[in-house]
Amino acid sequence: MPSFIVIAMDNFIDLVRQRRSTRKFMETSVSPDLVAELMRAALMSPSSKRANPWEFILVDDAGMLKNLSQSKKNGSAFIEGASLGIVVIADKTQSDVWIEDASIAALIIQLQAESLGLGSCWVQIRNRRDAQDRDSEEYVRELLGIPEQYGVLCILALGMKAEQRKAFDESKLQWEKLHLGHYKK
């Protein structure tokens, strides 16, 4: 195997090892150049039959980030402290696997964020409820004027990391979850 390929793979596994959910951000905005790099990666995300049902709503307004931080009963409050929120949506009429396509795009954004030195955290919206027991997806849809044909998958909270977390501990890899040829207990 050519050595340049091994180097690229080592860099990728390092990226995967280092990417951890960030919920505390510095009060620094994300530069337009970094946002462009995030979106470039998002727009290259693969999708089934190249339907590209995903779309992205970028939110950097502090008031709207505060509103989005109330989209779930638990696990969304930290959005208020993020510099940027990316709401990942997809046109349900374009693909029957819009959830998978949008999930892949969201993960690619998170990996790109890590490669750029940014922190990120996925906030699940689909199939969740807010503190008033409203459907989280409907809440976000109303806030941002999202048409009904779009599913709201998640909000990615992004910004400069206010704290560094330890890399993934590979001693905790669950090798027992791998099965060769067929499922074994």
Report helix angle 98-115 to 3-18, nearest 10.
100
Distance CA 53, CA 95 (A): 7
pLDDT band at residue 1 using 50, 70 and 90 as cut-offs: very low
Q: In sequence order, what are the beta bridge partners of 25? A: 161
CB atoms within 10 A of CB 103: 19
pLDDT digits (tens, 9 = 90+) for 30-85: 999 999 999 999 999 999 999 999 999 999 999 999 999 999 999 999 999 999 99
CATH numeric code, 21-163: 3.40.109.10
Residues 104, 56 contacting (CB under 8 angstroms): no
Residues 16, 168 contacting (CB under 8 angstroms): yes
Nearest to 85 by CA among 127, 150, 140: 140
Q: What is the mean pLDDT of residues 105-127?
A: 97
Burial class from Cβ neighbours inside 10 Å (0-12, 13-18, 19+) for residue 32 reads exposed
